[in-house]
């Protein structure tokens, strides 16, 4: 179901709003958030995950309002959240860490353990389930992070810069995994990577200074590139045309 931001405002410092009266809907399917550093992408995702609460306004998923206390538990069970940095939990195996996050989301210990096997299978980590989580590579740790968002069977998963620091091969594995999982789970992904947008994402949202400057299909986004732009440069050119203030 769509994620709605209605008249949302938020600031980390008084007098310097990151978001000011933002109203936006992130539709079903797989959505990518693009924008320069400081544009508000991470704040949007943190609000969507209820990790942060808006100073004013509402963030809703269906009838559930993240700001409303009686809805918060059910809201968080429907939303998975992968921040920029995925930490290995000391002394836990890969499967134990996935199960632990499920327990934190409100599952019983038995249900969390049982569901952790399926979550690891979906991200192709079954064979590493008994390995200590701190022994994973960067790409494997990101996949564990995604598994953690799936243990409680989230309907919406928010990923903040999930490919940062990954090499081209690891990024390719991630894109394949995202395309596979997006048939059953709604994703919103913040990234600086513009390649293969049309092959992975249904919707592109470009954010600048806390406001969307573009929202539409991937094909509509690529069509904003100047005529004659080589195909492999269309996404980059379209992005730069929309965010002219980026250095």
Among candidates 204, 160, 155, which has minimal Cα distance to 184? 155
| Mean of the per-residue pLDDT values of the chain | 90
Partners of 209 in the beta sheet? none
Among candidates 97, 101, 208, 195, which has minimal Cα distance to 157? 101
**SS3 of 6, please?**
strand
* Overall size of the chain counted in residues: 247
Q: What is the pLDDT of residues 65-104, one digit of tens each?
A: 999 999 998 999 899 998 888 899 999 999 999 999 999 8
Round to whole Å and give the CA distance between 45 and 198: 22
Q: Hey, what are 83's tokens? A: 């921040």
**CB-based contact 124:143 (threshold 8 Å):** yes
pLDDT of residue 246: 47
Q: Hey, what are 157's tokens? A: 């998963």
Q: State the CATH architecture for 3-242.
A: 3-Layer(aba) Sandwich (3.40)
Q: What is the pLDDT of residues 21-46, one digit of tens each?
A: 999 999 989 999 999 888 999 999 99
């Amino acid at each position: 179901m769509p994620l709605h931001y209605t008249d949302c405002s938020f600031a980390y410092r008084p007098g310097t709003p990151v978001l000011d009266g933002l109203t936006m809907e992130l539709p079903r399917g797989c959505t990518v958030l693009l924008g320069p550093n400081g544009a508000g992408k991470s704040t949007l995702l943190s609000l969507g995950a209820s990790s942060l609460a808006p100073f004013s306004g509402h963030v809703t998923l269906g009838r559930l309002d993240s700001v409303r206390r009686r809805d918060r538990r059910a809201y968080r069970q429907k939303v998975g959240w992968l921040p920029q940095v995925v930490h290995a939990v000391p002394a836990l195996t890969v499967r134990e860490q996935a199960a632990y996050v499920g327990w934190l989301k409100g599952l019983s210990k038995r249900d969390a353990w049982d569901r952790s096997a399926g979550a690891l299978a979906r991200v192709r980590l079954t064979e590493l389930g008994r390995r200590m989580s701190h022994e994973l590579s960067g790409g494997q740790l990101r996949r564990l992070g995604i598994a953690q968002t799936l243990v409680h069977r989230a309907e919406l998963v928010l990923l903040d810069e999930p490919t940062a620091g990954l090499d081209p091969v690891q990024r390719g594995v991630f894109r394949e995994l995202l395309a596979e999982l997006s048939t059953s789970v709604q994703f919103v992904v913040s990234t600086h990577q513009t390649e293969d947008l049309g092959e992975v994402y249904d919707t592109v949202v470009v954010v600048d200074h806390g406001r969307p400057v573009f929202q539409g299909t991937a094909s509509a986004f690529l069509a904003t590139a100047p005529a004659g732009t080589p195909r492999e440069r269309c996404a980059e050119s379209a992005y730069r045309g929309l965010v002219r203030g980026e250095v």
